[in-house]
Structure 1
Amino acid sequence: MAPYASDDTTTAGEADDLSAGRRKAARYVVPVAVMGLAAATIGLVPAIADSGDPDLPEITAQQLIEKMAESDVQQLSGTVKISTDLGLPDLGGLEDSLLSGAGRTDGEDGSPADPSSRLTELANGTHTLRVAADGPDRHKLSLLENAAEYSLIHNGKDVWGYDSASNEVYHSTAEDTGRGERKDEVPATPKDFAEQALKAVDDTTSVTVDGTAQVAGRDAYKLLIKPKQSGSTVGAISVAVDAKTGMPLKFTLTPASGGAAVVDAGFTKVSFARPAASTFDFTPPKGAKVTEDDEAAGHAPRPSAKSGEHLGKELDGLKVIGEGWNSVATFDTGGQGLPTGSGAGGSGAFGGFLDSLGDKVNGAFGSGTVFKTRLVNALITDDGKVYVGTVTKDALVKAADAGR
């Protein structure tokens, strides 16, 4: 089905209404923290191939966002396939190790059942997940691997992580971080990603309904979100929204540079019937090693979401340059930048290795190195300033010139 003619790009006059709908939708889109993803954000062949072209009543983008906001799906079960391709450099497998260790805060290898490290695996490659939910306090996510399975279960106040390969268990409670928030908030389902996309809907964004599709055997509308500004690495975001329930069934982010998706996450099977209560039961298997959350942290408090309030001060004044899709976060490390392979600051082979991973750039700000992925790029200047955003190399240089 072609895009609806009545659904042109969002005008500035509609932006306030869209923002109100977006805020309502955000409250719905991720009601399940255990299945949430902030991460990480993220070609691959599309994980879910759209099939069919259902004939559904016409709907505008504003109406579709409102439909998502009004949705109240509390029970579901199904299978999600998620593929991510940030275009990280090939470091002979080192990049996977860096990603898997990114969530660890105790300076040790940590428990293989700790969700803070296991769920970061979703930031690379293709994975299959089984998910289930029954209200705000009972959720389960299982990461299926070749010969093993990792499960994260939230049942009441208890949160369990279980790694079948090592027969290790990780236990924490929903109150461990102080405000009912947990460190396992990593995007894993289409609605998790959709929440982040909805936050970007403002007058710098084009929002349209791009026809219909079938996902996991269900009729859906396709919401298309695109930056109006040039300079963003984001090309387009497509969200398939269930026509009956208003729940996102599939999320696809394609880069402005073209090619396959950076993130493609969608249901292959889904049911909105209440899962069996036993789905969320968990007892550590006999002989399993059980690690309590406070033990893993060496009895020191885990960092909570509140610590983010002080991040700017710790990074010598984190601030944002630009607006909308062209926003660039910047901070000063107070250091001397990265070692390079030549010049006064050179450090031989290691500096040359870093040079090979980035592009040297110059501007009114001085000189530095841009490290690129297919979505997020970062400029580190030779005097220790950092500029990061979902923007192009030229946009980073422009931001650095403006912030010098």
Structure 2
Amino acid sequence: MADTRKASRFIVPIAVAGVAAATIGLVPALAASGDPDLPEITAQQLIEKIAASDTQTLSGTFRISTDLGLPVGGLADLGALAGGGGGSSSADPTEKLTELVSGTHTLRVAADGPDRQKLTLLDGSDEYSLIHNGDDVWAYDSKSKEVFHEKAPAGAGEKGEKGETPSKELPTTPKQLADEVLKAAGDTTSITVDGTAKVAGRDAYQLMIKPKQSGSTVESIKIAVDAANGTPLKFTLASVEGGKPVVDAGFTKVDFGKPAASDFDFKVPEGAKVTEGAAEKGAGSEKPEDFGKDFEKEFGGELGGLPGFGDLGTGGGLNVIGEGWTTIAKLDSGAPAPKTDEAPKEIQGLLDSFGDKVTGKFGSGTVFKTKLVNALLTDDGKVYVGAVTQDALVDAANAGK
């Protein structure tokens, strides 16, 4: 684990790439005309419709495309650093589903309440299936003919808010993405209804979310909401850099009927290798969660105060600068930043390919950039990170906050 601990010092900007894009204010607006022709609705009413939706059963296909603007091969190098490809089972969900953070993928999904969900990731002729059925979670990689099995997490069969299942195994759906954006409120955001659309053959309203503040890397977030039941059908996040959306996830086919119980059955294929999850949690494991624990030790738990990083620490010592979409998190590693040539060889190229040297009143440092989250690592060991532009990070460092 020594190499992983060393690597964690270099991976700060990437590890915090899940920082949520700030708080949201509600600005009512009437729906614009469009196709289909639906009754007018305000943004407030549409948000209430999403909150009231209680979809428990569905099946269908959705497509997710992700473009963080990383250089070619960057995510592959990052996956290797975090433990990807080094696990004992290619079917392990904690490794396999990291593929969703890059490129375009097609998935089949099915859900029957909080106790049964199934997801199949299609990759050419190969398939990867993840099944939660009662007390068990099964994963199968047809390419390697490997099976991963573990007991469902505590509470996986219990309903959370709005009847959702607190299952960490399943990847982000359009609804989960929408909930993350809408769960907080403030006056930093414009929210309007931006016409209507057809998504997966369903009539939908389009909720448009935009920052009021300058300096954010987020141009807009658009959520297509089923006009009949309030279920988000599509989620699109666009960057101020333009080009392809950072995230574009939406159903291409959807049916809200109850799937057959047999859809969630799983039988280990003959000759398949089975790995039990509990056996993988012993000392010496190189699983991604161990990387997270090492990262926590390295930075004293300071990531706990960031949205989405509550499991990594307690939040002590974290300095949050600004508010809303231009929030910047400042962390102090307490030691000078390591030199690039000291980095593990698997990420030296990654650092060089998307790190820009900058200078200012604060001294000098390197800005690590994606289309959504940027991070400034100063040579004296301070880190400024947020869904903000490079100039905003340098300004914060110059202010000495």
Pairwise TM-score range, normalised by the shorter structure: 0.7 to 0.9
Q: Which whole-Å deviations, capped at 9, do the CAs of 1:106-137 have from their partners, x for residues lacking one?
A: x9433111101111110000000000000011
Aligned to 1:86: 68
Q: Is the 8 A contact 1:100 1:117 kept in 2?
A: no
TM-score, length of structure 2 as denominator length:
0.78
1:175-214 correspondence to structure 2 within 5 Å: 175=153, 183-184=168-169, 186-187=171-172, 189-199=173-183, 201-214=185-198
In structure 2, the residue matched to 1:23 is none
Q: Does 1:298 align with 2:298?
A: no
2:320 pairs with 1:320: yes
Q: Using the alignment, how far apart are the partners of 1:290 and 1:354 within structure 2? A: 37
Identity of aligned residues (%): 61
Match for residue 287 of structure 1 among 271, 274, 284: 271
Distance 1:40 1:157, change over 3 A: farther
Q: 1:298 to 1:394 in 2, by over 3 A?
A: same
CA distance in 2, matches of 1:154, 1:335: 44
SS of residue paired to 2:95: helix
How is 1:46-57 mapped onto 2 (pairs within 5 angstroms)?
53-57=35-39
Q: Identify the residue that residue 99 of structure 1 maps to in structure 2.
A: 79
SS in 1 for 2:82: coil
2:9 aligned partner: none
Q: In the superposition, relative to structure 1, how do residues 80 and 100 fare at CA in structure 2: closer, same or farther (>3 Å)?
A: farther
Tell me which of 276, 289, 301 is aligned to 1:311.
301
**Partner of 1:165: helix, strand, or coil?**
coil
Matched, 1:122 2:104: no
Write out aligned runs for 1:211-290 (5 A): 211-290=195-274
Instruction: Give the aligned partner of residue 358 of structure 1.
Output: 355
Distance, in Å, in 2 between the alignment partners of 1:327 and 1:299 is 37
Contact 1:139/1:280 (<8 A) preserved: yes
Matches of residues 120-159 of structure 1 in structure 2 within 5 Å? 120-159=98-137
**Cα pair 1:41 1:123 within 8 Å, conserved:** no
Secondary structure (helix, strand or coil) at the match of 1:245 reads coil
SS at match of 2:301: helix
Residue 69 of structure 2 aligns to a residue whose secondary structure is coil
Is this contact kept in 2: 1:96–1:124, CA < 8 A? no
User: Pairwise mapping of residues 324-339 of structure 1 onto structure 2 (< 5 A)?
Assistant: 324-339=324-339
Query: Is the contact made by 2:17 and 2:373 (CA closer than 8 Å) also made in structure 1?
Result: no
Where 1:129 maps in the other structure, the secondary structure is strand
Q: CA deviation at 1:255?
A: 0.7
Does 1:61 pair with 2:61? Answer: no
State which drifts further: 360-369 or 372-381. 360-369
Structure 1 residues 41 and 168: CA distance shift in structure 2, 3 A: farther
Q: Evaluate the alpha carbon distance shift between residue 72 and residue 136 of structure 1 in structure 2; reply closer, same or farther with a 3 A threshold.
A: same
Tell me if structure 1 keeps the 8 A contact 2:66–2:101.
yes
Q: Secondary structure at the match of 1:368?
A: strand
The answer to whether the 8 Å contact 2:237/2:247 transfers is yes
- Output the CA distance in 1 between the equivalents of 2:230 and 2:191: 17
Query: Are positions 1:367 and 2:364 aligned together?
Result: yes
Counterpart in the other structure of 1:391: 388
Counterpart code for 2:359: N
Which string of whole-angstrom CA distances, capped at 9 and with x for unpartnered residues, describes residues 261-313 of structure 1? 11111100000000000111112111111111121223689959x97897228
Alignment TM-score, normalising by the size of structure 1 = 0.78
Is 1:316–1:334's contact at 8 Å kept on the other side of the alignment? no
* Count of residue pairs brought into register by the alignment: 348
Q: 1:324 to 1:360 in 2, by over 3 A?
A: same
**Unmatched tracts of structure 2, length 5 or more:** 1-15, 21-33, 159-165, 304-312
Distance 1:96 1:153 in 2: 26
**Distance in structure 2 (CA, Å) of the matches to 1:269 and 1:115:** 24
Larger RCO (CA under 8 A, 6+ residues apart):
2
Do the aligned residues in 2 keep the contact of 1:368 with 1:380 (CA within 8 Å)?
A: yes
In the alignment, the residues of structure 2 paired with residue 71 and residue 126 of structure 1 have an alpha-carbon distance, to the nearest angstrom, of 28
Q: Distance in 2 between matches of 1:268 and 1:178?
A: 27
Q: How far, CA to CA, are the matches of 1:393 and 1:317 in structure 2?
A: 23
Shift of 1:388: 1.3
Question: Letter of the aligned partner of 2:200 in structure 1?
Answer: A
From the superposition, tell whether residues 94 and 373 of structure 1 become closer, same or farther in structure 2 (CA, over 3 Å).
Answer: closer
Structure 2: distance between partners of 1:292 and 1:135? 25
Cα shift at 1:175: 2.9
Given the superposition, is the C-alpha separation of residues 201 and 361 from structure 1 closer, same or farther in structure 2, using an over 3 Å criterion?
A: same
CA RMSD after TM alignment: 3.3
Matched, 1:165 2:149: no
In 2: Cα distance, 1:202 partner to 1:84 partner: 27
Task: Give 2:282's aligned amino acid.
Answer: G
